[in-house]
Amino acid sequence: MSHTIAPKPFDQKKRLIAVQILSGLVIGALLFTRPGWNEASNAHELIEMTGLALVLACIFGRLWSILYVGSKKNSELVTDGPYSLTHNPLYLFSTIGAAGIGLMFGSIIIAAALGIATCLVFLITARREAAFLRGKFGAAYDAYAARTPLFWPRLSGYRDAGQVAFSPVALRRTFVDALYFLAVFPAIEGVEYLQTMGYLPTLMWLY
């Protein structure tokens, strides 16, 4: 008698470790790096404000996404709201936030590097999660995958049944995570102050 092995969800610990390593490297690099733009220039201010806007978009996007998926991830196939635009809105908005952090620092190069590195980590995770969902939900997932992109959104595909049963616990956890994104702004300002006062050496200038 043959037994069907139930698919197992992707181990999120691997993704978290990759993100933590990436974050550590970025923090270490930013301590000794300064933006090439004059910090009093309009260009620097515009880049910073654009970065702040992207981080805010990340926070609101993640909160919007968690309202739909809540604690149902891997147990139900969520296809409405942000999940009708992309399979992975949480990963998409996190990637936007990572690029925003680079811009808040005042560097387009750092923003591009952070955005690309974060995107690659989440794309690998998304593909492995897709294999799990296909094994669990079968034809229903195949139909969903046929009309919805894996990562980059398709705005024309938006749909919403108008019924959302969210998880307060998941929403609270996502809100706490959002505070870390907001804490980056004063942290970057603090690093810039220490660099200006000469307490931190500048090893590299990046535009």
Whether pTM exceeds 0.75: yes
Confidence bin at 8 (pLDDT 50/70/90)? low
Give the pLDDT mean for 75-93.
90
**Amino acid letter for position 96:** I
The pLDDT of 81-108, averaged and rounded, is 91
Residue 13: pLDDT above 60?
yes
Please indicate, yes or no, if residue 62 is contained in any of the structural domains: yes
- What total number of domains does the chain contain? 1
Q: How far apart are CA 199 and CA 99, in angstroms?
A: 27
Mean pLDDT of 42-70: 88
Outline where DSSP puts E strands in the chain: 33-35, 204-206
pLDDT at 104: 86
Residue 74 lies in a domain: yes
What is the pLDDT of the chain when averaged over all its residues?
81
Q: Which of 26-35, 44-53, 153-162 has the highest mean pLDDT?
A: 44-53
Instruction: Report the distance separating Cα 64 and Cα 74, nearest Å.
Output: 18
Residue 201 is predicted with a pLDDT of: 79
* Per-residue pLDDT at 2 exceeds 50: no
26 lies in some domain: no
The whole-number average pLDDT for the span 121-134 is: 89
Q: How many helices (H) and strands (E) does the chain have?
A: 6, 2
> 71 lies in a domain?
yes
Predicted pLDDT of residue 78: 87
More confident position, 132 or 17? 132
In a domain, 21, yes or no: no
The pLDDT, as a whole number, for residue 63 is: 87
Which domain does 53 fall in, by range? 37-206
* Residue 103 in domain: yes
**pLDDT for position 4:** 46
**Partners of 35 in the β-ladder:** 206
Separation CA 105–CA 123 (nearest Å): 25
In a domain, 6, yes or no: no
Give the percent of the chain with pLDDT over 90: 24
**pLDDT higher than 80, residue 196:** no
**pLDDT over threshold 90, residue 16:** no
Q: Is residue 29 part of a domain?
A: no
In the predicted model, is pLDDT for residue 20 greater than 70? no
| CATH number of the CATH domain containing 197 | 1.20.120
Token representation of residue 185: 């702004």
